[in-house]
């Protein structure tokens, strides 16, 4: 019996999940986590996206797939003809849970396409284009570069600083068994804020970046305090309000809604078991089933392998 040959793809990229905001860093701060989306890509006679695993159910398998769309954005930006592509994707990142699944798809599709074209776009160009497609820079920056990213958007570009996380911190994430779209989570936000809440946001986001960059964990819980989005989104996420106030008594050094939710992320530098148990019990008391995991912070970002070259990273 002849041996069936395995498909050989031109490029394979591995993209980490991400959490955005970390409380007070609304649309400005992101951090990479060690759940991954793996994307394989090659030129083909007909476009098809093969979806592997349960986390991708319901996604399109043709040219309307986000990964293909992101890849085509790179070809367009580089002025290259648009090819047919065969793509295979497998992901540990659950969809619409606030863990950067769309950002991982965008970054993965763009980096893979850039490799097929022999890298006409720089790291910064990829980041700028990915942020434009995603609509905000925090998730795509974390997935692309790894670690923590602080970013600010102007009319023409996004400025950013990437830096490693404080040593020893881990993330306890509670991923509920229901979904919440970013659009729905943004619809509950007000169109304007008081001066008091604006000053609170500026001060706490500045404190958050300083605490993370310097490793001043003693102020992190206060630094992650937010008045811009979490109080309004708490109505959509049972148990969030209680966890924001009680988790510090169970080992958390900071806690926040992950992105637009519904996932909740708590940071700790201690034994994570008491914190995990507390989060699970609070959510259960509100009728919410959740998968509670302890994740490390990914400090590498997207990795790339080709048929010719060994693995490389995009860490800036």
The Cα 75–Cα 71 span in angstroms is: 7
Tokens representing residue 188 in the block: 């509950």
Using CA atoms of 239, 241, 245, 248 in order, give the dihedral in degrees to the nearest 10: 50
Q: How confident is the model at residue 7 (pLDDT cuts 50, 70, 90)?
A: low
User: What burial class does residue 280 get, using C-beta atoms within 10 Å of its C-beta: 0-12 exposed, 13-18 middle, 19+ buried?
Assistant: middle
* The pLDDT of residue 46: 96
What pLDDT, in 10s, does the model give residues 260-288? Answer: 999 999 999 999 999 999 999 999 999 99
* The pLDDT of residue 155: 80
* The pLDDT of residue 1: 46
Say how far residue 200 (Cα) sits from the centre of its chain: 25
- Domains of the chain, CATH where assigned: 11-164+298-313 (3.30.230.10), 170-295 (3.30.70.890)
Q: What residues form the annotated binding site for ATP?
A: 94-104
Could you tell me the strand order of the sheet in which 170-176 lies?
A: 254-257, 264-268, 170-176, 290-295
Q: What residues form the annotated binding site?
A: 94-104
* The pLDDT of residue 270: 94
Q: How confident is the model at residue 315 (pLDDT cuts 50, 70, 90)?
A: low
Percentage of residues in the chain with pLDDT exceeding 90? 88
Mean pLDDT of all residues in 202-228: 97
The Cα 300–Cα 142 span in angstroms is: 9
Helix, strand or coil, per DSSP, at residue 34: strand
Percentage of residues in the chain with pLDDT exceeding 70? 95
Mean pLDDT of the chain: 94
What pLDDT, in 10s, does the model give residues 36-93? Answer: 999 999 999 999 999 998 889 889 999 999 999 999 999 999 999 999 999 999 999 9
Number of other CB atoms surrounding residue 124 within 10 Å: 12
* The pLDDT of residue 311: 64
């Amino acid at each position: 019996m002849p041996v069936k040959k395995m498909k050989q793809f031109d490029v394979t990229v591995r993209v980490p999940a991400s959490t955005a905001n970390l409380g007070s860093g609304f649309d400005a701060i992101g951090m990479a986590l060690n759940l991954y989306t793996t994307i394989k890509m090659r030129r083909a006679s007909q476009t098809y996206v093969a979806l592997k695993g349960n986390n991708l159910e319901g996604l399109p398998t043709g040219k309307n797939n986000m990964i293909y769309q992101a890849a085509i954005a790179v070809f367009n930006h580089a002025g290259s003809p648009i090819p047919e592509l065969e793509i295979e994707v497998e992901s540990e990142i659950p969809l619409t849970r606030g863990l950067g699944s769309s950002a991982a798809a965008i970054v993965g599709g763009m980096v893979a396409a850039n490799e097929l074209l022999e890298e006409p776009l720089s790291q910064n160009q990829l980041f700028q284009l990915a942020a434009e497609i995603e609509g905000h820079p925090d998730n795509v920056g974390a997935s692309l570069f790894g670690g923590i990213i602080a970013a600010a958007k102007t009319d023409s570009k996004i400025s950013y600083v990437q830096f490693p996380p404080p040593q020893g911190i881990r993330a306890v994430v509670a991923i509920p068994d229901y979904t919440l779209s970013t659009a729905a989570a943004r619809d509950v936000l007000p169109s304007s804020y008081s001066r008091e809440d604006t000053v609170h946001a500026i001060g706490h986001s500045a404190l958050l970046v300083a605490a993370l960059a310097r490793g001043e964990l003693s102020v992190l819980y206060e630094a992650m305090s937010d008045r811009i989005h979490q109080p309004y989104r708490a109505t959509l996420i049972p148990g969030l309000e209680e966890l924001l106030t009680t988790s510090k008594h169970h080992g958390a050094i900071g806690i926040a809604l992950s992105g637009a939710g519904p996932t909740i992320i708590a940071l700790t530098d201690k034994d994570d078991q008491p914190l995990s148990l507390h989060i699970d019990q609070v959510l259960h008391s509100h009728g919410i089933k959740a998968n509670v995991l302890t994740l490390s912070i990914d400090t590498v970002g997207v990795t790339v392998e080709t048929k010719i070259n060994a693995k490389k990273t995009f860490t800036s």
